[in-house]
A and B are shown apart, each in its own frame.
Chain A
Amino acid sequence: MTAFIIRRLLWTIPVLLLVILLTFVLMRQIEGNPFRRTSRAVSPAVQQNLERKFNLDEPWYVQYALYVKGVFTFDLGPSLVTRDRTVNDIIKEHFPKSLELGLLAFVWAIALGIPMGVVAALRQNTAYDYTLMFISNVGYAVPSFLVATLLIYYVSLKAGLLPTNGWEGWKYKILPSFALGLLPMAYFARLVRGSMLETLQQDYVRTAKAKGLRRRRIVMVHVLRNSLIPAVTAMAPLLGFIITGTFVIEIIFSIPGIGRYFVTAISSRDYSVVMGITVLTSVIIILANLVVDILYGILDPRTRDART
């Protein structure tokens, strides 16, 4: 297991190099000038000063090497657009907010999604099942910006129960995390329901029943544990994505997270910020996948043997 983890961690390095290269090439392929924000053209002297300051006058391979060096020395350079901040500052200040938002959304998703799936499977084809799956379908189909806007309108504006936007205390965190958690909740509910139904048909479940085990024990220990494998597979990358920021929710609820920053950085061609956040996201997704693989081994020992 340790060898496996070390091997996977070492693989991260070439993957990161490739991610940096691809992001670098893609960013340069789309036209645009990070120093021009309005219709006003940047004078040649100003443009030249800016390019020199940010090493954009160097050949591409030098710029690439500088980025790589920056990544491995944890110095991601200055932002080209928000001129009084470095990419490190931006990540340090904004990533924790996205992380918190993502984790809270995940709590909603697990706390509601898994029980929903379990109940629906155990009560297959009953009113419970239909109601829960209807809710889950709606949660899956309605885009988060609509959910968010409706929540703000009814809960904050009409009922005056919670603030409309911001990220200052627990009151501010309920609506955005729920809006963000709705889709993974619906997804988990469907996933768990499906795999529960499949597991319930398994021989070992029948055996357990025949042996006279109590139903609660059969469900909790034998069925649920095995039914969670697909959910866990989906969980880690999903977690990776939602903790690295979600543009729509962060914009609508004015949350100073990294997702909002990322999209704004792309449209303003803030190369260093885009690069920094991409690297951060990649590392997190890589780690999330590693965690899944480890969790697999715990949930299903058979998969452990296959990779040693």
Chain B
Amino acid sequence: MLSRNRWLSALLLSFVAVLLVVGCGGGDDEGEDGGGGEAAADQTLKWGLGAEYVLDPGLATDTTSAKLVLNIFDPLVKLDDELNAVPSMADSWDVNGKKVVYHLKTGAKWSNGDPVTAKDYEYAWKRALSPELASDYSYQLYGIQGGVEYNECEKNCAALRDKVAVKATDDKTLEVTLTSTQPWFIQQSAHSVFLPVPQKAVEQFGERWTRPENIVTNGPFKVEAAQPSASITLVKDANWRDAANVKLERVEGRIIVDGTTAVQSFEAGEVDVLDEQLPAAETPRLKETPEYELYPGLGTTYYGFNVKENITDVNQRRAMSLAVDRQSIIDNITQANEKPADAFTPDGMPGREDVVAESSPWTPAAGDVEQAKEYMAKAKNAKKKITIYTNEGAPNKEVAEALQSMWKQIGIDSSIKILEWQQFLEFLGPPPPKAVDIYRLGWVGDFVDDINFLELWTCDSGNNNTGYCDKEYDALVAKAKQTPDNAERYSIYKELEEKLTGQEGALPFIPLWYITYPNLERESVKDTFKINLLDQVDLTQVEIKG
């Protein structure tokens, strides 16, 4: 009896012990810091990536993939901190009206030893336009003559392919003819879809050419190993044309989708930098740590009105915009130090100081309830019972609730409907459904010209879910596209912005804030690891400090 009891006790005790070990861990104090003082002999960057990646530049669509492909393939041009185009594989370029000529560096090699030539770029651009590849980003190349026609072709595609006006006239010259003068084209060609791809490998391995055993690259880093959905290891390509100036030897990327886990992994010293996947709830605490870094992004979050059918009176729209205390939403809900929006064109956009010379009168950062009430009183046929549509996801519901209470102060009763992301996008139109009075969305630029933002509000835009349609506005957009001179074009953008958010503007939406990218970065890399406005990272600049 005694022995059985002892046996049972032992079992129970060992079980409790397991639970205790698991549950209590250690009571160590925080504060040991992995990074910092040690030697930087080991130039390995451990990077916690926020999403699955695709390594085919023609198929990469998300920002994590873009961050990787831009470092394993060599773009013709890169963007500097002010988003100006600077030489990369192209030494220089000439722009003459619709004609653009890139002059490539010589001597560069693919990771298999083949020379990199202008043909590789021609092949990649035509491939991205091909209907068979069905690239999501093919529209980025629509500015090239014959691009749309080839992308839309159903028959005679080979002939249309030959008509696409991008041609390698020799190994180091790439000639492009555009459909119109596009002053932004050079900067646009820094986008990942303009990266070259290795024709031989693509043709040999088909869709499997990006496997680590097949992939051929020509960027500063090459792929050593890759486990789908789990990790990727890049190593410096010693034969890259400018390898002498690349400090980093190795990048160990590990996919950590969950924000909380990512932060814990960072705090446990397993990764040196994250990929912006910080959970909003943790931001107030993380903000106080020296590893917190905040980057501005080229994007605007807004609430769009259904101007056609429901919120038809501009005075009601003005009132609703005036009633919003943006600063309070940023301080208390989103908490990532976003900048309150005072126009649609975001901060950081080239020429913004000309385009938004004055802030919109309808967007005071802290709101103006008294003025809002005055405008509400002026509104004829004001709709006082409205439905707010937003999608699932961290701060969206809370923001909608804050707006609900702000609009209550001016006599508007609102109810909130939350939809799943894909359903939400389908539901919004365009044209906007009658049920929607106001909806949340955001716009993030994918190349650096304001046309990328302002074009959104043309009558036929697939992204204009408000029903706002002004032929004059459309004519100005068309005119801007034909205006290569920056100053002249910016003055057109100014007119466009005024039509939207200016004193007499139609205000089809309420600009809320300009987005930011908060991140965690170990102090040893913080000075050199930078995320630019387009959410790109240039790993050639990164150096792990001792």
Contact = CB atoms under 8 A, between A and B. Distances in A.
A46 B136 contact: yes
Contact of B264 (A94, A132, A157, A159): A157
B54 A82 contact: yes
A252 B261 contact: yes
Interface in A129-177: 131-132, 135, 149-161, 163-167
A160 B8 CA distance: 32
Contacts of A165: 256, 261, 264-265, 270
A6 interface: no
A165 B152 CA distance: 45
A84 interface: yes
A33 B139 contact: no
Contact of B136 (A42, A48, A131, A261): A42
Contacts of B284: none
A102 to B, nearest CB: 17
Given A167-B230, A251-B257, A119 B265 contact: no
A230 interface: no
Q: Counting chain A CB atoms within 10 Å of each CB, which of B22, B27, B420, B423 scores highest?
A: B22
Contact of B152 (A45, A153, A253): A45
Q: Counting chain B CB atoms within 10 Å of each CB, which of A163, A164, A256 scores highest?
A: A164
B12 A84 contact: no
A161 B25 contact: yes
Interface string B220-235: 0000000111110000
B290 interface: no
Contacts of A89: 228
Interface stretch (B158-166, B400-408, B440-448): B440-448
B8 A267 contact: no
B228 A256 contact: yes
A32 B423 contact: yes
Overall SS of chain B's interface: mixed
Given A82-B54, A269-B422, A256 B230 contact: yes
B24 interface: yes
Given A36-B425, A154-B24, A164-B270, A84 B261 contact: no
A90 B21 CA distance: 36
B131 interface: yes
Interface residues of B, number: 66
Interface string A11-24: 00000000000000
A11 B208 CA distance: 37
Contact of B11 (A30, A43, A115, A252): A115
Interface in B102-139: 131-132, 134-136, 138-139
Nearest to A42: B136
A149 B12 CA distance: 25
Size range of the chain A interface in the assembly: 35 or more
B28 interface: yes
A264 B139 CA distance: 26
B210 A84 contact: yes
Q: Counting chain A CB atoms within 10 Å of each CB, which of B228, B442, B444 scores highest?
A: B228
B12 A131 contact: yes
Interface string B227-257: 1111100000000000000000000001111
B26 interface: yes
Interface string A37-67: 1111111111011101100000000000000
Interface in B45-100: 52, 54-56, 59, 61-62
B426 A41 contact: no
Contacts of A167: 230
Contacts of A307: none
Given A82-B52, A256-B229, A149 B260 contact: yes
A31 B423 contact: yes
B19 interface: yes
A44 B16 CA distance: 62
29 contacts: A30-B423, A31-B427, A33-B422, A39-B442, A39-B463, A43-B139, A78-B207, A84-B59, A84-B207, A90-B228, A123-B8, A155-B22, A156-B268, A157-B264, A157-B267, A158-B25, A160-B268, A163-B268, A164-B261, A164-B270, A165-B256, A165-B265, A251-B257, A253-B261, A254-B255, A254-B265, A256-B228, A260-B229, A264-B52
Given A31-B422, A82-B52, 5 more contacts: A48-B152, A156-B268, A160-B26, A254-B257, A254-B261
Sort A-B residue pairs by CB-CB distance and give the 3 closest, nearest first: A32-B422, A41-B462, A159-B25
